[in-house]
Amino acid sequence: MTAPMKNLKARPKVVDAWIQPWTREVVDAMPERTAHVFRKYGTDRMKNGISLEEMIEEMDASDVDVSLVSGGPVVPGHLVLDALDKWPDRLVGVVAVDPTDGVMRAVRELESLARNYPVCAMKLEPFYFWRDPTDRVFYPLYAKCEELGLAVQTQVGGTGPLFPSRSGLPLYIDDVALDFPDLTIVCGHVGSPWVDEMIHVAWKHDNVYIDTSARLAKHFENAIRAFRLDRFLADGA
């Protein structure tokens, strides 16, 4: 007799929205302003570096199917491109460029990266430039992202590294979304301590999303928990 088949439901794909290569190369070159955050976290693991192979192994152990891997001011872009070449089925790129070294040079670099690699977004951490997201140097990049169909993944909320937190005020994103209503803007790290502002901006603009990376769910503010539940119920759950 054939055993009854279980009613198995396919597991939804798990996507990690924000990972970075954290190799020894990155750690050795890291400025003190950035390294400060890991002392505040109270973890020693990051000080030794994590190989790209370990990163993939940890994705497997956590049942993560795909990760968005990004570079930035303290993570050399070539590490992201190396990872994309090595694991094209597991990683999608989020690239960073520096408009303070020439705005149009940065625009051309962004377009070249997007056309030659599996890239879905540009990452922007404005505090590293000591500028706000509404600064004029970023606007040509926003326009190019919209033209190419790339999202902008940006940091919101207070900064762990020793840079001004002001650039993480979610109300700056309100201005950007008004100027670029067709640009997908993903706001990383919830927006704490300005969660209510972040919720308002995401509620107001259909093209603004909140990314909960860098925060364990148990540390979410009550407002973000309630907002996530309301959105879930509004979608017909």
Domain ranges of the chain: 15-234
**Any idea of the CA torsion for 142, 146, 151, 155, to the nearest 10 degrees?**
20
Task: Quote the tokens at residue 102.
Answer: 């020439």
Question: Rounded CA gap, 171 and 25, in Å?
Answer: 35
> Does this model's pTM top 0.85?
yes
CATH architecture of 15-234: Alpha-Beta Barrel (3.20)
The series of mean pLDDT values per 10 residues for the chain, 237 residues long, is 46 87 89 81 75 93 95 92 95 97 97 97 96 98 98 94 94 98 94 92 95 75 68 45
- What pLDDT, on a 0 to 100 scale, did the predictor assign at position 34? 86
Question: Rounded CA gap, 164 and 167, in Å?
Answer: 7
Question: Rounded CA gap, 186 and 212, in Å?
Answer: 10
Q: Which residues contact 156 (CB under 8 A, 6 or more apart)?
A: 168, 169, 170, 173, 187, 188, 189, 190, 191, 194, 198
